[in-house]
Amino acid sequence: MSVRGVVKGFLYNLYSRRLRRQLQGATPPRHVGMIIDGNRRWAKLQERATVAEGHRAGAERMHEFLGWCDEAGVEVVTLYLLSTDNLSNRHDAELGDLVGIIADLAADLAEVPDWRIHHLGDESQLPADLASALGAAVESTAGNSGLHINLAVGYGGRHEITEAVRDIIREHEERGLGIDTLADDITLDNIADHLYTAGQPDLDLVIRTSGEQRISDFMLWQSAHSELYFVEALGPDLREIDVLRALRDYARRQRRYGA
């Protein structure tokens, strides 16, 4: 390693330790959401890298990201890996690569001791092999009590809310109740109980990579009072210090549940 590399590594480690000290005594967010962005742009910046290599590099970095969150005391992390919009607007070849990469990621995460996997999304819209891989990861980790990881795959916030309301209407009909009492069932608590995240805390912090500043149909209900943090780094370039900065920023904010 060059002298420059040694110095850079020393300064990085020094800064990381400083950030950790600043977080001592701070209450971490219970639930963190990650909108992974910039994998394709990252691939274009690499010499002869394919888009698939960009997505795989992003997935590998998300594995590390989960470890950083676990170490920081976060209880639940949701990774936004594949949206309902992606299923219709990505080329078949890229979508095929993504299916394999996400399936591999789910299998790898399921091997981490005590991590628990949960799938958020419409399974009926997914290729059978991906749905099977997600199902296997969920089943094999169901008894774990450590970091709870939501894999948002085939997910859309508006679609989730729509399906929750439809489920409430179906249950109302199954109980033999009439339309005149349906409005009584459409409550905040009842809708929340019919979301994919039923029983989980709402999002405290949402992080998005690549410098883009938009929510992209991600957990619209659960992020109603979330703090947002945007990182300039592309997905595969995300560093631990980027995450520590996000957690420090969250700890310094005075959360307001309103305007």
Please determine, for residue 259, whether its predicted confidence score (pLDDT) is greater than 80.
Answer: no
- Mean pLDDT, rounded, for 24-47: 96
Q: Which of 37, 97, 122, 202 is catalytic?
A: 37
Distances (CA, A) of 194 to 10, 100, 186, 221: 49, 29, 11, 12
Q: What is the DSSP letter of 200?
A: S
d(CA 71, CA 147): 10
- Mean pLDDT, rounded, for 43-61: 95
Neighbouring CB atoms inside 10 A of 184's CB total 10
- Look at residues 79, 70, 142, 128 and name the one whose alpha carbon lies nearest to residue 105: 79
Which domains are present in the chain? 29-158+203-248 (3.40.1180.10)
Q: What is the pTM of this model?
A: 0.94
- Mean pLDDT, rounded, for 144-149: 98
- Look at residues 141, 46, 145, 55 and name the one whose alpha carbon lies nearest to residue 91: 55
Task: Indicate the pLDDT class of residue 24, thresholds 50, 70 and 90.
Answer: very high
The question of whether 86 is a catalytic residue gets the answer: yes
Please determine, for residue 246, whether its predicted confidence score (pLDDT) is greater than 90.
Answer: yes
% of the chain beyond a pLDDT of 90:
88
Confidence at residue 3, expressed as pLDDT on a 0 to 100 scale: 64
Task: Indicate the pLDDT class of residue 6, thresholds 50, 70 and 90.
Answer: low
The question of whether 37 is a catalytic residue gets the answer: yes
Q: What is the DSSP letter of 27?
A: P
- Mean pLDDT, rounded, for 235-256: 94
Q: Which of 39, 86, 202, 204 is catalytic?
A: 86
Sheet holding 31-35, edge to edge: 116-120, 148-155, 76-83, 31-35, 205-208, 227-230
Please determine, for residue 220, whether its predicted confidence score (pLDDT) is greater than 80.
Answer: yes
End-to-end distance of the chain based on CA atoms, in angstroms?
Answer: 51
Task: Indicate the pLDDT class of residue 10, thresholds 50, 70 and 90.
Answer: confident
Note the pLDDT tens digit of each residue in 168-179.
Answer: 999 999 999 999
